[in-house]
Amino acid sequence: MKEERPDQLDQLLDLLADEVAKRLRAEPEPSDASTEPVAASDKTAKIPQVEETPPRPPQTKAPSAREPDVEATLKPEPDGSHGETRPAPPTAPPVSSHTAQLLGRLALGLLALVIVINIPINRHGTTLATAMPDRRALVVRDGLVVKEEDDPEIYVYENGRFRWISSLRGFEMHGYTWEDVHVVEDGFLEPYKIGPPIHVILKCPESPHIYLLEGEKKRWIVDIAAFEAEGYVWEDVKFVSCSYLRNLPDGETIPPDHGPPRQP
């Protein structure tokens, strides 16, 4: 038994040596490309290689159906069959803020001037527009109403003569307004004939007496003969209240020197 143990030991050593030799023959030889030592635990590990990809060219966005093509809108269209391009229409220059302010001030100034010349400057409603000498009054025609600058009397042109309107009441009753009056220079009436004054004939329904209004005074016409002698007709008579006639001061009778006038 003591002799068998060395034989078995030798056999085991031979088997181990054969196994090591087989393993060594089975292992691949290291390549020359890698000379760095690799750890035993990393022999079987595979290192992934990252491939570098070339950068992609930038992609341009395709124009959508809603967005207009800028080049197409800027491209001039051919004109007719000659292939000529039409020039773009000229655009108006922008208005500067300074020009806009200047135009606004001019408009306000014009508006203020129109308002000022139409404001009445006296109790008769005369405005600067009517008080200024009007050269159009030089065209003399029937119905033209004039007033010299320094004379309060108002005249109307009828049948080749200027006639004085003797009262403000008569001026209104004949349908005239202050807008009808043309203010002319002093001496304008000198070359023209002056006709008889235009009076207004007044009467109240409760009284038989007839009065001629001259200025602010009433003049009693003493009878029908005197009424007709003055050239008046019944269509000339204007009816007013008796109280209005009684409040007017009395003037000279027609004809004169017939005593105190009768009251309505």
Q: What is the CATH number of the domain that holds 204?
A: 3.30.2390
Is there a single domain that holds both residue 123 and residue 193?
yes
Does residue 56 fall inside a structural domain? no
Q: Is the pTM of this model over 0.85?
A: no
Q: If we measure between CA atoms, which residue out of 228, 233, 237 comes closest to residue 255?
A: 228
Is there a single domain that holds both residue 122 and residue 152?
yes
Q: How far is it, in rounded angstroms, from Cα 127 to Cα 215?
A: 23
Over residues 2-35, the pLDDT tens digits come to: 444 556 667 777 777 777 777 777 665 555 544 4
Does residue 61 fall inside a structural domain? no
Does residue 250 fall inside a structural domain? yes
Over residues 63-107, the pLDDT tens digits come to: 454 555 544 444 555 555 455 556 666 666 665 677 777 787 888
DSSP assignment string, 125-173: --BHHHHS--GGGGS--TT-EEEETT---EEEEETTEEEEE--HHHHHH
pLDDT at 99: 78
**Which percentage of the chain shows pLDDT scores above 70?**
61
Query: Which of these ranges, 48-52, 111-115, 171-175, has the smallest mean pLDDT?
Result: 48-52
Is there a single domain that holds both residue 183 and residue 211?
no
Domain boundary among 152, 183, 198: 198
Q: Please tell me the total count of domains within the chain.
A: 2
The secondary structure of residue 198, as a DSSP letter, is B
Does residue 220 fall inside a structural domain? yes
Q: Which long-range contacts (CB under 8 A, 24 or more apart) does 151-156 make?
A: 151/186, 154/181, 155/189, 155/194, 156/198
Is there a single domain that holds both residue 212 and residue 191?
no
Does residue 25 fall inside a structural domain? no
Full domain range(s) for residue 132: 117-198
Query: Which of these ranges, 77-81, 136-140, 193-197, has the smallest mean pLDDT?
Result: 77-81
Is there a single domain that holds both residue 122 and residue 193?
yes
**Where do we find the tokens 């009693």?**
220
Does residue 240 fall inside a structural domain? yes
| Element spanning 217, H or E | strand 217-221
Is there a single domain that holds both residue 179 and residue 235?
no
Using DSSP's 3-state secondary structure scheme, residue 211 falls into: strand
Domain boundary among 173, 198, 223: 198
Is residue 122 within 8 Å of residue 128, measured between CB atoms?
A: no
